[in-house]
Structure 1
Amino acid sequence: MTVPSATPDLALAAPVSSAHSRITAAGLLVALGIVYGDIGTSPLYTVRGVFVTQPVTEPVVLGTISCIIWTLTLLTTVKYVVIALRADNHGEGGILALYARLRRLPLRRLYLPALVGAAALLADGLITPPISVASAVEGLRILKPDLDTVPIVVAILVGLFAFQQFGTQIIGKLFGPVMLLFFSMLAVLGVVHLVQEPSILRAFSPHYAIRMVTQVPGAFWLLGSIFLCSTGAEALYADMGHVGRQNIYGSWTFVKTCLILNYLGQGAWLLRHLGPPLGEQNLFFLLMPKWALLPAIGLSTLATIIASQALISGSFTLVIEALRLRFWPKVKVQYPTELRGQAYVPSVNWLLCAGCVGVVLYFRESGRMEAAFGLAVTVTMLMTTLLLGYYLRLRRVAGYWIALLVGTYVLIEGSFLVANLAKFSHGGWLSVLLAGLLLLVMLSWVAGQRIRNELTEFVPLAEWLPLLQQLSQDESVPKYATHLVYLTKAENAKEIENAIIHSIFRKRPKRADVYYLVHVNTTDEPYTRRYHVTHVLPNELVRIDFYLGFRIDHALNYMYRQVVADLVKNHEVDITSRYASLRGQEVVGDFQFVILNKTLPYQYLLRGWQRLALRLHAGLKWLGSSETESFGLDNSTYEVENVPLQMPPRPELLLTRD
């Protein structure tokens, strides 16, 4: 007979604030070091990319700087700083955090734009570090034109990725001061040239941007390079949880001012050097006097390393979020320091490292990398715009305001996307290929899980409780363990997978004194740590439901031990050994986890696309970490057992007996 008894939900740990509630000097400095690396280093290559082959004329110079000013204003300031930062999920930002908040909407395919955006953002992570570091190091060619910078760039990138396993707690303290110095350098350089050619201030009028795009032949395609000034906006949104919305508000004004001053300075220099295209010359370093060149190159290289570090850490965070939301295969995650948000994903780290080195060796020049840069981020921005529309709908904003906002940004970002498509044959195909492969990984994992879940059969738990009690007391069956633990996917506490029933009763009978069913719910909140206990059969069957945020590590072994310790403290379970020779000796009984590997014996009975999805899912599962590793189980506490999933009825074979 079932005797349900539940304890109230309990927290595994004190709640962690997901965002700073006020502006602090330390928070502003940290924001400079973490949030703005990507967008802060864009002056190294944005304007230069426009004039590699484009003659330097006044209409194009004024139009380019005007486009940059208004792109930073409309895309970064209005869309991301003003609107997107308010679309947080308990202080966390980014496209997957936004999706996690929207999951409650009754839209079956809402995960698709989130997956597309996440895949494109990860693909961008393979291109941003090479182009940023290469742009800075190539400044050395002004002093030594025949210098081969490729080995230097590769060495910096490999060293950066190799250092990830140790965490960034020490060098992270230098990020803020270095970026403060770098942004100050941007502003000073801009002002020095601005006062020599103040007529560049005309670029504040959007008239020049519109006139260039509509009247200068071929100028529309220059938007592909101009867009690079705002590629870090998505990273700004994703990093909100690390520094807090208020600190981004407080620091963005300073950052934007420094960026615009530098872009104005570059425009002023160009107005005084009208003529042929710049070719391979790096405009950013042409602004500097020779005596300042080496210090500026050194500072710029440090800034690009910081930008790369921020993007690498952001990629780890994105993959972990995708992992918890079940969009990514299970991979090993390490935590090298105690800093919140400081994680290390070895497989992703070395995948990014190989990709970045490959990009450098293939393109060799930062100018050529620009062709592959920007296309993927534009797709991410469009997906974020779409999800922001659903967010505003969730907030009950009037439909015409939503249509106006989404329509405006689809037009702006769509124009950038079309302009970036012109780069496809020159290297843009690489970002599309990378994003496509990453999207295939996520879609295959999602589809495989969905098919397996559909094939999983659940049965009423109450029907098996009497037999479970009899088995537990049947001394003719050798005891399998004192405490036997199964991980269950049954969201309904009144149901259980047929696979677990098969494991306990139909295979080798597993007699235990106490059975535990453990279920994990991933919540929309990022840092939830709660659990709920249901005593289905007092002292015989216990169900534990964990409610973990999508940024929480699923270290079930440690969490389970804490829950059991709490239950013992509250006299809800007895974990002393039940063996006759150890009874009364205060010896803790043995605990055994059973991990079920659910096999598909008759895959040929499924549809073709289902078989393909399951094969891809199985391959990804084999490449990733096992469930025992991802759940933090040590070798002495678990056993993996193969059990069949429910399959479509197999046609009966008409056999004839001789």
Structure 2
Amino acid sequence: MKTQHQDIHSKLSLGGLLLTLGIIYGDIGTSPLYVMKAIIGENTINQELILGGLSCILWTLTLQTTLKYVIIVLNADNHGEGGIFSLYSLVKRTKIQWLIVPAIIGGSLLLAEGIITPPISVSSAVEGLLIFKPDIPTIPIVIAILFVLFSIQQFGAKIVGKFFAPTMLVWFSMLGILGILQITKNFEVLKAINPYYAYKLLTSDVSGHGFLILGAVFLCTTGAEALYSDMGHCGRKNIRVSWIFVKTTLILNYFGQGAFLLLHNGKSLAQLNEHNPNPFYLIMADWFQPIGIVVATLAAIIASQALISGSFTLINEAMRLNFWPKVRINYPTDVKGQLYIPSINWLLFLGCVGIILYFKESKEMEHAYGLSIILGMMMTTTLLNFYLVMKRVKWYFIAPLITLYVTIEFSFLAANITKFYDGGYVTMFIAFMLIGVMSTWFLAKKISKSYTKMVKINDYKKVLAELSVDLSIPKYATHLVYMTNSTRSDEIEEKVMYSILQKRPKRADLYWFIHVNILSEPYKKEYKVNEIIKDDIYRIDFYLGFREATKINLMFKEVIKDMVKNGEVDITSRYESLSKNHIIGDFKFVLSEKFLSNDSDLTFFEKIVMNTYFTMKKFSLSEEKGFGLDSSSVKIEKFPMVLHAPEKISLTRIH
């Protein structure tokens, strides 16, 4: 029987198409608010600039968004999930170690994009009010709108999508109709379909920027990465079919703005309207402008949704890959693939407020926008190349394809790099901070794992069996449960045995070792029981999809219930009075918490990594909450983590 999650990927439906419109197209769908304005800038309107700019937009949307993302990249799904970390999960099977670098950089850049997209989209829309009231303070309005948007995330993308979908349908329909009305007044604009005009603009200096005009053109494809990241929410088929409608309305609107501008040859945007020189609003009839501003503002609010949803997905996968500290995840709806991470939600909001207060106007934000996004797209292209090789795609297909995108994306990078000092440094600074967090967490986990000593359980079977019946030691619990990181069923951490036998001898009737395997696929809940000593030592391995909630407390109870039903284990209390009355025995979980030992002899690099790691760990989710354990039955034991134990100290005894 198919799950709801599988259905969304295999089935095309009207509901799925509407949900897709509501969730993932906000960013790329609101680009008409600022792209043509950015291309023209302070220049005088002329035919070469308008037709060349439109031609660049059309072919960017065709080659970069449609061909690369909608047709090719959406095929690289990890059991229906998309995004750069899903792509990394697929290509890491090639065992090429350095591929982790583009994965971490790309993920960090996408998160940085999530901080700049909401401010620029909402500010561009709200600034439409300046047409009617030039002195209106837009900053408080923008912040208030974003606060409402981030507040409703806790109700889930399904609820949000139901509200957003009709609005986005109206928005895209409005884009198309406004564009058609202007195109019918000036069919000359259709010449821009010819890529020659794009070439002519890029090789001339008519814009005052020449080739660098691509920095403004690139803004038309900024939401493409979000299409891939949010594939798990909507499904590949729904994205591909709805994109036909979305792309058509976007092109119509861009060409409509171009048709209007061609009728005002020789003028500047400021001469057309000094208060809000935005061609998007100028193509509207005066009576329609208030309606257009309201719809544009609603669409701009929704523009943020794709990046917010994508950020939640990204962090969830980053935790699975040991790139990010454990944080609390909520599942607000019963729809698989939809989650809410409170800490990330409010960090994004604070970042957005910081951007708004720093740049103040959308035209200033345009300078910060684009550099981080194109670098992120280049990281996806790098991983895509290895994915195609892994899939045994013929070299004569891969070579021209990757060459095409290396050329396109390096061209966009060269144009966007000039924005660094104008504001691009802000998003790059945010991205570098995120890269630092991900790299530190990953390296610290790797260092920690390399210094975790494993021992064979067989070597301790005899002593554990004897400990269980040693009445000279007070009973610690009927059932004693340890979480283990050991992937091998015949091994256990040395510290676990130290805890049971030496830290304080812990007599129990039954010992349980539990290991959680997080799989590379999103939805699976399986377990395996390994009986080490009958009625004495058991190991349970859980195999969970990376989108499944890790509720070990509840899952363990289900396993015990199943084992009792099958007659595999007796969990009745071993205390005589309780056993007589069939009372179930108590369960005690023991978790270990590491701290860096003063005896560690660290290199300078290891010292920085590990000290930063333990600082971040203080703010992350505790192990007991991460595993969904009941704190009343959990004992936390602290263990020193000794890295590079110093040599033995030579001492001389004197008499």
What is the TM-score when the length of structure 1 is the normalising length? 0.95
* SS in structure 2 of the partner of residue 530 of structure 1: strand
Q: Is the 8 A contact 1:502 1:643 kept in 2?
A: no
Q: Deviations over 1:426-448 (max 9, x none)?
A: 11001100111001000000000
CA deviation after TM superposition for structure 1 residue 334, in Å: 1.7
One-letter amino acid of the structure 1 residue matched with residue 35 of structure 2: T
Compared with structure 1, are the counterparts of its residues 289 and 438 closer, same or farther at alpha carbon in structure 2 (3 Å cutoff)? same
Are 2:283 and 1:287 equivalent residues in the alignment? yes
Are 2:623 and 1:632 equivalent residues in the alignment? no
Are 2:480 and 1:484 equivalent residues in the alignment? yes
* 1:593 paired residue number: 589
* 1:239 paired residue number: 230
* 1:250 paired residue number: 241
Report the Cα distance in structure 2 between the residues aligned to 1:302 and 1:148, rounded to whole angstroms: 18
Are 2:340 and 1:339 equivalent residues in the alignment? no
Matching of residues 73-472 of structure 1 within 5 Å = 73-216=62-205, 217-278=208-269, 281-472=277-468
Q: Deviations over 1:494-531 (max 9, x none)?
A: 11111111111111011111111111112121212221
CA deviation after TM superposition for structure 1 residue 414, in Å: 1.2
* SS in structure 1 of the partner of residue 188 of structure 2: helix
Report the Cα distance in structure 2 between the residues aligned to 1:105 and 1:552, rounded to whole angstroms: 26
CA deviation after TM superposition for structure 1 residue 18, in Å: 6.8
Q: Is the 8 A contact 2:599 2:645 kept in 1?
A: no
* 2:614 paired residue number: 618
Report the Cα distance in structure 2 between the residues aligned to 1:177 and 1:603, rounded to whole angstroms: 62
* SS in structure 1 of the partner of residue 632 of structure 2: coil
Q: Deviations over 1:194-223 (max 9, x none)?
A: 111111101111111111111225221111
Q: Deviations over 1:126-171 (max 9, x none)?
A: 0000111111111011111111111100111112222223435444
One-letter amino acid of the structure 2 residue matched with residue 81 of structure 1: V
CA deviation after TM superposition for structure 1 residue 453, in Å: 0.3
Compared with structure 1, are the counterparts of its residues 184 and 15 closer, same or farther at alpha carbon in structure 2 (3 Å cutoff)? closer
Q: CA RMSD in A?
A: 1.7
* SS in structure 1 of the partner of residue 323 of structure 2: coil
2:57 to 61, 68, 79: 68
Q: Deviations over 1:472-500 (max 9, x none)?
A: 11111111111111111111111111111
* SS in structure 2 of the partner of residue 636 of structure 1: helix
* SS in structure 2 of the partner of residue 642 of structure 1: strand
Are 2:485 and 1:499 equivalent residues in the alignment? no
Q: Is the 8 A contact 1:575 1:588 kept in 2?
A: yes
* SS in structure 2 of the partner of residue 539 of structure 1: coil
Compared with structure 1, are the counterparts of its residues 373 and 634 closer, same or farther at alpha carbon in structure 2 (3 Å cutoff)? same
Q: Is the 8 A contact 1:213 1:220 kept in 2?
A: yes
Q: Is the 8 A contact 1:499 1:644 kept in 2?
A: no
One-letter amino acid of the structure 1 residue matched with residue 175 of structure 2: L
Report the Cα distance in structure 2 between the residues aligned to 1:488 and 1:321, rounded to whole angstroms: 21
Q: Is the 8 A contact 1:539 1:573 kept in 2?
A: yes
**Displaced runs of 4+ in structure 1, greater than 4 A?**
13-16
Report the Cα distance in structure 2 between the residues aligned to 1:252 and 1:309, rounded to whole angstroms: 17
Q: Is the 8 A contact 1:18 1:241 kept in 2?
A: no
Compared with structure 1, are the counterparts of its residues 18 and 619 closer, same or farther at alpha carbon in structure 2 (3 Å cutoff)? farther
Compared with structure 1, are the counterparts of its residues 26 and 336 closer, same or farther at alpha carbon in structure 2 (3 Å cutoff)? closer
* 1:653 paired residue number: 649
Q: Is the 8 A contact 1:503 1:643 kept in 2?
A: no
Report the Cα distance in structure 1 between the residues aligned to 2:268 and 2:228, rounded to whole angstroms: 35
One-letter amino acid of the structure 2 residue matched with residue 205 of structure 1: N
* 2:273 paired residue number: none
One-letter amino acid of the structure 2 residue matched with residue 52 of structure 1: G
Q: Deviations over 1:560-618 (max 9, x none)?
A: 22222222222212111111220131211111111101233146512111111111111
Q: Is the 8 A contact 2:4 2:336 kept in 1?
A: no
Report the Cα distance in structure 1 between the residues aligned to 2:268 and 2:474, rounded to whole angstroms: 84
One-letter amino acid of the structure 2 residue matched with residue 99 of structure 1: Y
CA deviation after TM superposition for structure 1 residue 276, in Å: 4.6
Q: Is the 8 A contact 1:18 1:91 kept in 2?
A: no
Q: Is the 8 A contact 2:600 2:642 kept in 1?
A: no
Q: Deviations over 1:297-332 (max 9, x none)?
A: 111111111121232122111111111222110111
Report the Cα distance in structure 2 between the residues aligned to 1:166 and 1:391, rounded to whole angstroms: 35
One-letter amino acid of the structure 2 residue matched with residue 605 of structure 1: D
* SS in structure 2 of the partner of residue 387 of structure 1: helix
Q: Is the 8 A contact 1:604 1:611 kept in 2?
A: no
One-letter amino acid of the structure 1 residue matched with residue 134 of structure 2: P
* SS in structure 2 of the partner of residue 625 of structure 1: coil
* 1:5 paired residue number: none
User: Higher helix fraction: Structure 1 or Structure 2?
Assistant: 2
Which consecutive residues of structure 1, in runs of 5 or more, have no partner in the other structure?
A: 1-10
What is the TM-score when the length of structure 2 is the normalising length? 0.96
* 1:548 paired residue number: 544
Q: Is the 8 A contact 1:235 1:311 kept in 2?
A: yes
Q: Is the 8 A contact 1:325 1:522 kept in 2?
A: no
Aligned length: 647
Report the Cα distance in structure 1 between the residues aligned to 2:379 and 2:570, rounded to whole angstroms: 52
Stretch of structure 1 that moved more, 299-308 or 113-122: 299-308
One-letter amino acid of the structure 1 residue matched with residue 359 of structure 2: F
Report the Cα distance in structure 1 between the residues aligned to 2:532 and 2:526, rounded to whole angstroms: 19
One-letter amino acid of the structure 2 residue matched with residue 484 of structure 1: L
Report the Cα distance in structure 2 between the residues aligned to 1:148 and 1:156, rounded to whole angstroms: 13
Q: Deviations over 1:103-124 (max 9, x none)?
A: 2112112222111111000000
Compared with structure 1, are the counterparts of its residues 171 and 113 closer, same or farther at alpha carbon in structure 2 (3 Å cutoff)? closer
* 1:8 paired residue number: none
CA deviation after TM superposition for structure 1 residue 65, in Å: 0.5
Report the Cα distance in structure 1 between the residues aligned to 2:390 and 2:146, rounded to whole angstroms: 42
* SS in structure 1 of the partner of residue 78 of structure 2: coil
Q: Is the 8 A contact 2:522 2:547 kept in 1?
A: yes
Stretch of structure 1 that moved more, 530-539 or 15-24: 15-24
Stretch of structure 1 that moved more, 273-282 or 174-183: 273-282
Q: Is the 8 A contact 2:157 2:309 kept in 1?
A: no
Compared with structure 1, are the counterparts of its residues 604 and 456 closer, same or farther at alpha carbon in structure 2 (3 Å cutoff)? closer
Matching of residues 3-18 of structure 1 within 5 Å = 16-17=5-6
Q: Is the 8 A contact 1:535 1:541 kept in 2?
A: yes
CA deviation after TM superposition for structure 1 residue 14, in Å: 7.1
Q: Deviations over 1:396-439 (max 9, x none)?
A: 01223222211211111111111111111111001100111001
Report the Cα distance in structure 2 between the residues aligned to 1:89 and 1:651, rounded to whole angstroms: 47
